[in-house]
Amino acid sequence: MIDENADATRARAEQGRKNAEFRDFMDSIRLDMKDQADLGGNKTTYKVSKSYREFVDAAIERLSEEDYKVTVVDPDAERPVLHISWDAPT
């Protein structure tokens, strides 16, 4: 019983850590997008760090759901590059 509780606690802690890392990754992407938009741009190129590599597919899905256009250069690379674009405000 105690081992099961300990395993469940470890699993929840690991999931919480992964969720926080994904939020940090998305915040980093969004900050880059905001910086480009503030300069009048409607696209950015984001080189994914090794520590965020596992979150690329989820980030693409999330951004696509929000109507951003995302393409990946060399998706199997250790550090893939995301090309993200959006419609400029009129």
Whole-number pLDDT of residue 35: 97
CA atoms within 13 A on the CB side of 56: 23
Q: What is the pLDDT along the chain (90 residues), one digit of tens a residue?
A: 567 787 888 889 999 999 999 999 999 999 999 999 999 999 999 999 999 999 999 999 999 999 999 999 988 888 999 999 999 765
d(CA 12, CA 46): 30
> What is the pTM assigned to this prediction?
0.85
* Pairing label, strands 43-47, 81-85: antiparallel
- Locate all alpha helices (DSSP H) within the chain, ordered by sequence: 2-38, 56-65
* Pairing label, strands 69-73, 81-85: antiparallel
> DSSP letter at 66?
T
- Cα–chain center distance at 10: 24
Whole-number pLDDT of residue 2: 64
Whole-number pLDDT of residue 55: 96
